[in-house]
Amino acid sequence: MAAVNGLAYGGGCELVAAADLAVATDDATFALPEVTIGAYPLYVAERVAETVGKKRVMELALTARPIDAARAADWGLVNRVVTPDALEPTVDELVEAIADAPAATIRTTKRAVAARVQESGERDRVRGGFAQVRADEESRAAVERFLHGDPEV
């Protein structure tokens, strides 16, 4: 989980892209300024491009120009944009929602999303992950609560 209140430049922007979820304040900005100092963003090719798309990461990396929080949300770099006083409560709410789910389900979901399920080998791996989740007692209990209409699920 990333919480951004201010600048997320260079490695900070890359960390936001690497996070599963990100919340930013409405005055946050994001940039990859490495080219201005003769360097290159090491993580960009994989993580930021995967998150925002090739053309958008090329704009960030090649121009070194910052984008605001609204554009970062539009591009998928952050999930939510909030006022500074709403940042902590919003992050807390997301963390609590995740913490309420069975850990095995969270792990398997993260792996499946990261795996790019299109490849047949990956599909088999994801199916194996599903079997692991179904074998997990906490996950089975959550499914049972859902099937029985528990409003907390």
Catalytic residue set: 14, 34
Report whether 105 contacts 37 (CB < 8 A).
no
Say which residue the tokens 């699920």 belong to.
153
Structure letter (DSSP) for residue 66: -
Helix (H, G, I), strand (E, B) or coil at 98: helix
Decide: residue 122, CB within 10 A, 0-12 exposed, 13-18 middle, 19+ buried. Answer: middle
Token pair listed for 98: 């995740």
